[in-house]
Structure 1
Amino acid sequence: MLHPPPLRVLVIMPAWNESETVGATVREVLAQPAGYDVLVVNDGSTDDTASVARGAGATVLDLPYNLGVGGAMRAGFKYAVRHGYDAAIQVDADGQHDPRDIPLVLNGLRDADISIGARFAERGDYSVTGPRKWAMVFLAKVISGLARKRLTDVTSGFKAVNRRGLAQFIDHYPAEYLGDTIDSLVVAIKSGCIVTQVPVEMRPRQGGTPSHNPFKSAIYLGRSVFALLFALTRKRSALPAPDPVAGV
């Protein structure tokens, strides 16, 4: 039986002032047996994020100023396409995404174009409360209906894409905080991308300052609904021929 050739996978790590954690996270990813390439997208950091990441062994793409995670990820996706990668996966620089789960999320690409590492899928004890929880439940129900598949964590940043997903996200990955996960995901589904999810376990943040605070949580629900409604009005886009990733 012939086996597919080894696939080139790029781990994209958006980082804004993550000098405390990015080095350890990069080293942990590089220590995985599969030998992934790591691209740290330094999102206009004012600390030593870039030098720490380089010292740990990552390739670093420096953005001139802070674009937000959406802008950083779009830059990373473009890098992946230009350098011929077969798949890309986002891993946060703060250490919350366990690098040991990267193969699990990538395996979802055997039958899908986008594979989400889901935090609320019967693994681990990660939880949210208040407006953020209401928004996540609402978004998951609506997008599950669009995808015709039960999805529990559509706002997860721990997700992998194959070449079809990369082509879609390069064109439709906005820089808004919530839009990077909702708008682009909805358009991808409407355009024919297959989405799946894989249970993963989140870890405590290893250092630095969380991006959420009570004020942001209070407006999360309103922004969620707006982003979803906007995404539902957007037109679908043409996709390359189906390209599920086999043998990851």
Structure 2
Amino acid sequence: MNSKKVLVIVPAYNEEESLERTVDELVSVVPDIDYLVVNDGSKDATEQICLDRGYNHVTLPVNSGLTVGFQTGMKYALRNGYDYALQFDADGQHCPEYMSKMLDLAIAEDADIVIGSRFVNKCKEVSARMLGSRIITVAIKLTTGKRVADPTSGMRMFNRKMIERFANDDSLNPEPESISYLIKKGAKVREVQVEMRERQAGESYLNIPKSIAYMARACISILFVQWFR
């Protein structure tokens, strides 16, 4: 990795089946990286795994959701002087070997946000799952003039300026609507082609009804709500 100081933020809620594999792979592939597991009030053995394995972690007393967990990581990054922070899923879908490419692009283009994108060089599959992603891409394009190929990717790198914003602004969340909002405010966003795996273990909280609600909320926020912020 580059000499820049980078923190990988790993939000985790009930990830006992995948956390150990995820963190051990992260440390093996990028041994000089710093990471922070944010245990979001898990009810399973997530906390015990962190203790047994000696993982760098903080534990929230109750489940507070992804936004609070991510902001906790950003506050840690800000207070400890990190140049970049990377949002990284605990479920094993993200591949740590792409971190170097993301950091290199962030530095080379002075990007505020770099997204690990599945669709820079590849087309989205035709499926109900990808329909929402296509709609969000169009919504961002309509409101910002910029195209984000993979707006729902959870693998995102943020520079110091963005770390400060996320750490101090409770209205921001690690979701497509915040990416859209920040673009409108002048943030430079770039994408790097990555491969992602299926969830390695456990179950996603996003079932079909929740996925539909997620996409609808994101689009409404991008197209309407953010004009009043």
TM-score (ref. length: structure 1):
0.82
RMSD: 2.3
User: How do 1:3-152 residues align onto structure 2 when only pairs under 5 Å count?
Assistant: 6-33=3-30, 35-110=32-107, 111=109, 112-122=111-121, 127=125, 129-130=127-128, 132-144=129-141, 148-152=145-149
Is 2:150 the partner of 1:159?
Answer: no
Contact in 2 for aligned 1:26/1:53 (Cα 8 Å): no
Match of 1:216 among 205, 210, 214: 210
Match of 2:175 among 168, 175, 181: 181
Question: Which position in structure 1 is the counterpart of 2:188?
Answer: 194
Matches of 1:148 and 1:230 in 2, distance apart? 15
Matches of 1:152 and 1:113 in 2, distance apart? 17
Q: 1:129 corresponds to which letter in structure 2?
A: S
Matches of 1:41 and 1:147 in 2, distance apart? 32
Distance 1:95 1:101, change over 3 A: same
Deviation at 1:23, TM superposition (A): 0.9
Identity level (%): 37
Matches of 2:148 and 2:201 in 1, distance apart? 29
Distance 1:63 1:126, change over 3 A: farther
Deviates more, 1:141-150 or 1:92-101: 141-150
Contact in 2 for aligned 1:22/1:49 (Cα 8 Å): yes
Deviation at 1:154, TM superposition (A): 1.2
Contact in 2 for aligned 1:169/1:184 (Cα 8 Å): no
Matches of 1:128 and 1:234 in 2, distance apart? 34
Deviates more, 1:156-165 or 1:101-110: 101-110
Q: 2:88 corresponds to which letter in structure 1?
A: V
Distance 1:46 1:127, change over 3 A: farther
Deviation at 1:183, TM superposition (A): 2.8
Deviation at 1:233, TM superposition (A): 1.6
Matches of 1:183 and 1:100 in 2, distance apart? 27
SS of alignment partner, residue 139 of structure 1 = helix
Contact in 2 for aligned 1:165/1:188 (Cα 8 Å): no
Residues 101-123 of structure 1 deviation map (CA, whole Å, 9 limit, x = unaligned)? 11122223121110001122235
Q: 1:212 corresponds to which letter in structure 2?
A: L
Q: 1:140 corresponds to which letter in structure 2?
A: T
Residues 181-238 of structure 1 deviation map (CA, whole Å, 9 limit, x = unaligned)? 1232122212221111111101121101112212213334422222213553244xxx
Contact in 2 for aligned 1:174/1:183 (Cα 8 Å): no
Task: Give the unaligned 5+ runs of structure 2.
Answer: none
Distance 1:188 1:231, change over 3 A: farther
SS of alignment partner, residue 202 of structure 1 = coil
Distance 1:160 1:186, change over 3 A: same
